[in-house]
């Protein structure tokens, strides 16, 4: 696991860390721009917390936003999530062909 550092500045969409398994590398991408004010050090010892308890002990980082209103406009939320997921599934199925 490669976590970002407290005090680092991140931009929306920027890769700021990664998690690895024997066959896969996943990137942590910041959903908003700002300063990383806290990092979950417990993930260094047990990265499975992300899957076991993503809304509790599995959090990754806290970011103090610098342009929250602008960044939120770029995020998919509410009724837009389902169509976005369906489009991604269709794209993945097309790649299999």
The pair of three-digit structure tokens given for residue 41, joined into one six-digit string: 């050090």
Cα distance between residue 26 and residue 18, in whole Å: 5
pLDDT of residue 40: 95
Q: What pLDDT tens digit does each residue of the chain (97 aa) get?
A: 888 999 999 999 999 999 887 788 889 899 999 999 999 999 988 888 988 999 999 999 999 999 999 999 999 988 999 999 999 999 999 998 8
3-state per-residue secondary structure call for 45-89: HCCCHHHHCCCCCCCCEEEEECCHHHHHHHCCCHHHHHHHHHHHH
| Structural domain total, the chain | 1
- Per the structure, the complete domain to which residue 62 belongs is given by 9-96
Cα distance between residue 60 and residue 47, in whole Å: 10
2 part of a folded domain:
no
Check which CATH number belongs to the domain holding 32 and give it.
2.40.50.100
pLDDT of residue 47: 85
| Cβ 61 vs Cβ 38: under 8 Å | yes
């Amino acid at each position: 696991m490669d976590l970002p550092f407290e005090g680092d500045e991140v931009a929306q969409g920027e890769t700021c860390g990664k998690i690895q398994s024997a066959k896969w590398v996943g990137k942590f991408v910041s959903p908003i721009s700002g300063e990383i004010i806290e990092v979950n050090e417990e993930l260094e010892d047990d990265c499975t917390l992300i899957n076991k308890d993503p809304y509790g002990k599995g959090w990754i980082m806290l970011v103090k936003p610098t342009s929250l209103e602008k960044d939120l406009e770029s995020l998919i939320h509410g009724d837009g999530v389902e169509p976005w997921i369906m489009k991604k599934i269709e794209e993945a199925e097309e790649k299999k062909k």
